[in-house]
Chain A
């Protein structure tokens, strides 16, 4: 530790800390442009000048590391003049755009000039002219004249993300930020540069000229589009959300978002948004619909009791809404058939669930099935940041039916067959700790063969399982047996840390569980089977869309056909609209106050920015109305608090799972193409007009160049996929990175109803080749 004095206050900080960060800890504001803790020091803007005693010149606080006994002054005549000078320099070529600049009012050039700048400028010469409102991409604009050349954007893309799509061109005062050879930036992380830009140089195209800071309020919210649950600021104006920004949380996250979350906010105003009640397939007045449903409920409860009703929770609801539904179902209806909509069968017990801090502290990470770049983008950034920390090396391995390695994140992957992940993990565990009773129990049915996998890779994995002090497993939940391997692994590694981060959805499934719903896939399957078998008369989907999500479409269809009443609440009309007796419009994220639980089992609060549109109502409105119809008292408990005193914003800890279930070695396919599914945020079925082109491009199956060649497809085509369960026609494109022998289909896309088939070997045939321009 190093002791130093800043403005008369003593502080002790770690060796290597920069003066700027030490001052921040004392609450002393040192103005910075180019410095960002995540990017490290650069020293370009010279805004952070301070005076250090015994140094001949002013020092830049962002590049000067603390030293024992150092005495720093962040004000004083010299510092003040230095700052004034830098600000005057920055302003000489800065256009007089403040009145029309989107950042006006939330701009660091304005703020610092106001606080530290000269009262007036002395520059009378002509200003340099550069490009205004030029494109970085379809989503991001650049005004090069406003740029202060802090390089945050360039360095973020180059060093932090590893997708160097921005660069500096020209020299001296002619220097500009631009894209590589003028090509639009494609990275899904590019939008972050808008937040990083300290001035109004990088702008969100959808927000361009939409509002001034005094017209708007920014509300703290959370992105619900994937289980990462990034923290956001949401800007509403005239009843619409017009902007989403990242919201840094000190010591927890930098406030990065992916562009799916940043620009995909317009699903709530999408033309397909459900804003009217529907009764028997036709739009109907809300009051009438509510009355009607009340009647049905009354009838079922009176005739057969509440247990004849099942509720499936899904969609983007808050934990509080889920709790209201839970109470309504148990107290008013009297049913305990409360399950969560699931699109993959895996489950992670709370006792195994890890946090992002675990990830930062991990010395080994194993990706099982999941490619975070596609399933949980900002998690990919976290992994990359962790990997780049040279002081603490990280072993990064993968077990998946495809190679998970990317140029931005090299992953030593054990490429399995579809359905073989658990067995391969078990084989490595056998080698690492075969004698442990938990492992023995796991393997008692003969699993752990790892057929066809390179034994040296299995040994490498087993070494990681044995030796890693802090292991984090990131898992997509596609292969349910992995849960049992992870439980055995955690037991065998008692004394070392073993934590799991689930990347599957729905994004708030753990919140639904917290509210009282059973989030296990089997529970959902039982409900559907009971429905199919006539044991359930009424099925209520709260935000859920089972035809789209549930892996066995046939079972859902049978259940839908058999139940007497099929109701849904949601933001969109669920698939199979013809089956539904009634559909009522619900509120979307950004329209209600509540909490969401992310993949860390962390509760995060979201405040609303706008009201639900049209007839859309928050959950509680429907519940109170129906309770009234049933003649039962139901007061929504506004006081219910999902937080726990002891565990803070994490859900209460639970012990490691004790019972270990034995798993079986899978029957492995011989040859052929294997169908494989994965959750992808760019193809998760939630629409957006802003992102329309990009979403469309992502909603497609993928095959390897090798298989495409065999099929006679160069880039894009349509294929016929056949398995024992049926036949499917799919649009498909070539994916350079995909492992040969695999057909990858995103989950949850209406146009790609992959749940008509089961993952595993399929027969593939080309139907047509689509010529791309």
Chain B
């Protein structure tokens, strides 16, 4: 179906990653406008009025976060979170690989707004291409005078540093990210103090997702009202959804918030492949509970999805069809969290290990009646008792799977095998 692109404009404009092409299509005009027509505080206000919410997962209002910075004269930093490692989410990757200048322009405007003179991009280690594109684009921006001293004669100066992570999902969590950026082991920090008060090197720091910052230039160009004209009052604007699974057109889709889930799956992504029937959907990345097909008409905005029993999260929409064994899917996801648990706190470190083992046994047909009760109880002992949200994320899907597909779990015990014939070590489908 036809669609208007803002953040995914590179699909219409080939080579927009080159600064000349980006500029020929209006690139860096929002920056010029911001620097010449706005005081920093006015930009914070603009973003507040746009209602833009963080696209990294938690959906926290961006302008409000910017407003938390203490006004005590200490240096401030902007850190862009490009660690995108949530299974099912691949939007930031496309943004940095194909349209890096849009992010950089957003970073310059945002840094100006929060009065930061240094900004960092923490890029997921595996995103080699994205890292190279960003590094190249940052160089171009310096050469064009958009970075460095006295940008566009505004008196504002900014340096951007691109940093590569080393392959840990937990380093997407903002405080672990900051630890890693400072050269330490990527374990989450105690909060409070929040990064806005004591972040990078103890200084006030704003951490925002790539997509969040990429939204800033169009908001400057078209205004807050343009943004609030889309979506709902509490969830205004645009969101990129990553759709994966047995659909005809998996990929990233830029939608106005509150677009119904059904429309995303059936229209944008072209519906399920021939002969496949929908089993459930994980709407917001691997960390959120599943939604059953009866929730297909839920509008994709933060509040409605929450009400439906899940979360919009990072917008990684994973479609599971009836051929998927729910136990195996649970095992696969819990195993991910077991591998990615940083090990700092007891329930997440030990609990994910335990649950993964039990799920593996269940899937192999070696489970017992007690195992289901144990799983539920172990999940309960993790729930709300971990140091950071990763612990709770590890049980989001599992608990909803047990609730909605208890029969299927029990069948594994009863039949002593996977009724769907899935194998634990079947790597093709791993």
B396 interface hit (Cβ, 8 Å): no
* B residues less than 8 Å from A49 (CB atoms): 385
Q: Write the nearest CB–CB distance from B66 to chain A, whole angstroms.
A: 26
Interface string of A68-105 (1 = CB under 8 A from B): 00000000000001101110111011000000000000
Q: Write the nearest CB–CB distance from A364 to chain B, whole angstroms.
A: 25
Partner of A45, one of B346, B358, B384: B346
Partner of A85, one of B345, B349, B357, B385: B385
B381 interface hit (Cβ, 8 Å): yes
**Contact of A89 with B370 at beta-carbon distance under 8 Å, contacts A125-B354, A171-B343 already known:** no
A89 in contact with B190 (CB, 8 Å):
no
B346 in contact with A86 (CB, 8 Å):
yes
Query: Which of chain A's residues has its CB closest to B391's CB?
Result: A46
B130 interface hit (Cβ, 8 Å): no
* B residues less than 8 Å from A123 (CB atoms): 354
Q: Write the nearest CB–CB distance from A46 to chain B, whole angstroms.
A: 5
* A residues less than 8 Å from B358 (CB atoms): 125
* A residues less than 8 Å from B185 (CB atoms): 167-168
Q: How far is B341's CA from A44's CA once the two chains are assembled, in angstroms?
A: 13
B168 interface hit (Cβ, 8 Å): yes
* A residues less than 8 Å from B374 (CB atoms): 122
B339 interface hit (Cβ, 8 Å): yes
A89 in contact with B347 (CB, 8 Å):
yes
Count of chain A residues with Cβ under 8 Å from any Cβ of B? 38
Interface string of B370-409 (1 = CB under 8 A from A): 1000100010111011110000000000000000000000
* B residues less than 8 Å from A89 (CB atoms): 346-347, 349-351, 354, 381
**Contact of A44 with B346 at beta-carbon distance under 8 Å, contacts A58-B385, A85-B381, A122-B370 already known:** yes
Q: How far is B351's CA from A126's CA once the two chains are assembled, in angstroms?
A: 14
Interface string of A163-185 (1 = CB under 8 A from B): 00001101111110000000000
B343 in contact with A170 (CB, 8 Å):
yes
B344 interface hit (Cβ, 8 Å): yes
Interface string of A183-224 (1 = CB under 8 A from B): 000000000000000000000000000000000000000000
Centre residue among A44, A172, A174 by max chain B CB count within 10 A: A172
A172 in contact with B354 (CB, 8 Å):
no
* A residues less than 8 Å from B350 (CB atoms): 89-90, 92-93, 173
Interface string of A36-73 (1 = CB under 8 A from B): 00000111111101000000111000010000000000
* A residues less than 8 Å from B338 (CB atoms): 172-173
B346 in contact with A148 (CB, 8 Å):
yes
Query: Which of chain B's residues has its CB closest to A149's CB?
Result: B343
Partner of A173, one of B168, B341, B381, B384: B341
Q: Write the nearest CB–CB distance from A463 to chain B, whole angstroms.
A: 27
Centre residue among A41, A46, A122, A151 by max chain B CB count within 10 A: A46
Interface string of A120-134 (1 = CB under 8 A from B): 001101101000000
B118 interface hit (Cβ, 8 Å): no
B342 interface hit (Cβ, 8 Å): yes
* B residues less than 8 Å from A148 (CB atoms): 346
Centre residue among A47, A58, A89 by max chain B CB count within 10 A: A89
Q: How far is B341's CA from A45's CA once the two chains are assembled, in angstroms?
A: 14
Partner of A174, one of B343, B361, B370: B343
Which chain A residues in 115-149 approach chain B with CB under 8 Å? 122-123, 125-126, 128, 148-149
Interface string of B137-170 (1 = CB under 8 A from A): 0000000000000000000000000000000100
A171 in contact with B168 (CB, 8 Å):
yes
Partner of B341, one of A84, A93, A125, A172: A172
Q: How far is B191's CA from A41's CA once the two chains are assembled, in angstroms?
A: 11
Q: How far is B345's CA from A262's CA once the two chains are assembled, in angstroms?
A: 31
B353 interface hit (Cβ, 8 Å): yes
Query: Which of chain B's residues has its CB closest to A82's CB?
Result: B385
Query: Which of chain B's residues has its CB closest to A150's CB?
Result: B346
Q: Write the nearest CB–CB distance from A196 to chain B, whole angstroms.
A: 18
Q: How far is B357's CA from A92's CA once the two chains are assembled, in angstroms?
A: 12
* B residues less than 8 Å from A174 (CB atoms): 343
Q: How far is B378's CA from A435's CA once the two chains are assembled, in angstroms?
A: 76
Interface string of A335-369 (1 = CB under 8 A from B): 00000000000000000000000000000000000
Q: How far is B381's CA from A89's CA once the two chains are assembled, in angstroms?
A: 9
Q: How far is B353's CA from A188's CA once the two chains are assembled, in angstroms?
A: 37
Interface string of A493-519 (1 = CB under 8 A from B): 000000000000000000000000000
Q: How far is B350's CA from A123's CA once the two chains are assembled, in angstroms?
A: 11
B345 in contact with A44 (CB, 8 Å):
yes
B339 in contact with A172 (CB, 8 Å):
yes
**Contact of A172 with B342 at beta-carbon distance under 8 Å, contacts A42-B190, A125-B358 already known:** yes
B352 interface hit (Cβ, 8 Å): yes
Q: Write the nearest CB–CB distance from B363 to chain A, whole angstroms.
A: 14
A149 in contact with B354 (CB, 8 Å):
no
Q: How far is B353's CA from A90's CA once the two chains are assembled, in angstroms?
A: 12
B347 in contact with A149 (CB, 8 Å):
no
Q: How far is B346's CA from A93's CA once the two chains are assembled, in angstroms?
A: 11
Q: How far is B347's CA from A57's CA once the two chains are assembled, in angstroms?
A: 14
Q: Write the nearest CB–CB distance from B179 to chain A, whole angstroms.
A: 12
B340 interface hit (Cβ, 8 Å): yes
Query: Which of chain B's residues has its CB closest to A33's CB?
Result: B346
Q: How far is B349's CA from A93's CA once the two chains are assembled, in angstroms?
A: 11
Q: Write the nearest CB–CB distance from B377 to chain A, whole angstroms.
A: 8
Interface string of B325-341 (1 = CB under 8 A from A): 00000000000001111
A172 in contact with B387 (CB, 8 Å):
no
Q: How far is B370's CA from A167's CA once the two chains are assembled, in angstroms?
A: 39
Query: Which of chain B's residues has its CB closest to A42's CB?
Result: B190
Q: How far is B185's CA from A167's CA once the two chains are assembled, in angstroms?
A: 9
Q: Write the nearest CB–CB distance from A17 to chain B, whole angstroms.
A: 15
B385 in contact with A43 (CB, 8 Å):
no
* A residues less than 8 Å from B384 (CB atoms): 56-58
Q: How far is B357's CA from A57's CA once the two chains are assembled, in angstroms?
A: 27
Q: How far is B347's CA from A149's CA once the two chains are assembled, in angstroms?
A: 12
Partner of B343, one of A47, A56, A92, A173: A173
A175 in contact with B345 (CB, 8 Å):
no
Q: Write the nearest CB–CB distance from B203 to chain A, whole angstroms.
A: 15
A57 in contact with B343 (CB, 8 Å):
no
Centre residue among B190, B344, B352 by max chain A CB count within 10 A: B344
Partner of B352, one of A125, A151, A172: A172
**Contact of A92 with B385 at beta-carbon distance under 8 Å, contacts A43-B190, A86-B347, A168-B185 already known:** no
Interface string of A543-559 (1 = CB under 8 A from B): 00000000000000000
Q: How far is B29's CA from A609's CA once the two chains are assembled, in angstroms?
A: 82
Which chain A residues in 238-264 approach chain B with CB under 8 Å? none
Q: How far is B349's CA from A174's CA once the two chains are assembled, in angstroms?
A: 9
Q: How far is B381's CA from A92's CA once the two chains are assembled, in angstroms?
A: 14
Q: Write the nearest CB–CB distance from A202 to chain B, whole angstroms.
A: 18
Query: Which of chain A's residues has its CB closest to B170's CB?
Result: A171
Partner of A172, one of B353, B357, B361, B378: B353
B381 in contact with A44 (CB, 8 Å):
no
Q: How far is B163's CA from A438's CA once the two chains are assembled, in angstroms?
A: 62
Q: Write the nearest CB–CB distance from B129 to chain A, whole angstroms.
A: 25
* B residues less than 8 Å from A168 (CB atoms): 185, 343
Q: Write the nearest CB–CB distance from A76 to chain B, whole angstroms.
A: 15
Q: Write the nearest CB–CB distance from A485 to chain B, whole angstroms.
A: 40
* A residues less than 8 Å from B354 (CB atoms): 89, 92, 123, 125
Query: Which of chain A's residues has its CB closest to B339's CB?
Result: A172
A81 in contact with B342 (CB, 8 Å):
no
Q: How far is B387's CA from A58's CA once the two chains are assembled, in angstroms?
A: 12
Q: How far is B352's CA from A128's CA once the two chains are assembled, in angstroms?
A: 13
In the complex, 29 of the A-B residue pairs with CB atoms within 8 angstroms, ordered by the A residue number, are: A43-B190, A43-B345, A44-B387, A46-B387, A49-B385, A58-B384, A63-B190, A82-B381, A86-B346, A88-B381, A89-B350, A92-B354, A93-B350, A93-B353, A122-B370, A122-B374, A123-B354, A125-B357, A125-B361, A126-B357, A128-B353, A149-B346, A149-B349, A171-B168, A172-B339, A172-B349, A173-B350, A173-B353, A175-B349
Known contacts A90-B346, A92-B350, A172-B340; 5 further A-B pairs (Cβ under 8 A): A46-B387, A57-B385, A85-B381, A89-B347, A172-B338
The 4 lowest CB-CB distance pairs between A and B, nearest first, are A85-B381, A175-B343, A89-B350, A125-B357
